[in-house]
Amino acid sequence: MMFRNLLILGVAAVALAACKTTPKTEVARFTPCEDVSVAIYFEPASAAISSEGRAVLRGAAGQAKGCTVDRVDVTGLADAVGSTEDNMKLSEKRAATVTKTLNGFGLKDVRVSAAGDTGAVTSSGAAAPLRRRAEVILRLSPAT
């Protein structure tokens, strides 16, 4: 008798479980046209882009395919080694080299800026690491 009651209870539980509605699954939409930010690093006192840097820029340009490119910002930076004037010139060259490479990948109308060695030394007087770079931001939106 006890077994029979347990069996009926088990069958009822299975039957009720089958009636339960499954929750609606939300699928996150992939939006490929989100802003892209990359940093291109340089050797000391150099504005030459390495093959790795070129590959990073090619990848960033590839992410922009099929999107509206609203704006491209390139900022050249330099470390605190050397004079402030030389560092400003170097950061300008780095930004120009990156811009030329981006133009070659089809990205035009680039906003270029240079910071030189501004911010290359912390408030405690220590050199900020990895300032030998250009920062690139692609402002993207879905194509209309």
Position 8 in a domain? no
Residue 69 forms part of a structural domain: yes
* Within-domain flag for 90: yes
**Residue numbers of the domain that contains 57:** 36-142
Q: pLDDT tens across 64-90, in order?
A: 999 999 999 999 999 888 888 999 999
In a domain, 72, yes or no: yes
Whichever domain contains 115, its CATH number is 3.30.1330.60
Q: Do β-strands 110-116 and 67-77 pair in parallel, antiparallel, or remain unpaired?
A: parallel
Q: Distance (Å, rounded) from C-alpha 139 to C-alpha 121? A: 29
User: What tokens does 46 get?
Assistant: 């150099």
Beta strands 36-41 and 133-142 are antiparallel
Do 78 and 117 meet the contact criterion of CB atoms below 8 Å apart? Answer: yes
Q: Is 70 inside any structural domain?
A: yes
In a domain, 16, yes or no: no
Task: Give pLDDT tens digits along the chain (144 positions).
Answer: 665 655 566 566 666 666 556 667 776 666 689 999 999 999 999 999 999 999 999 999 999 999 999 999 999 999 888 888 999 999 999 999 999 999 999 999 899 988 876 766 666 666 666 789 999 999 999 988
Structurally, the chain folds into a number of domains equal to: 1
Q: What is the 3-state composition of the chain as percent helix, strand, coil, each rounded to the nearest 5?
A: 35, 25, 40
- Looking at the domain assignment, is residue 109 inside a domain? yes
The answer as to whether 4 is a domain residue is no
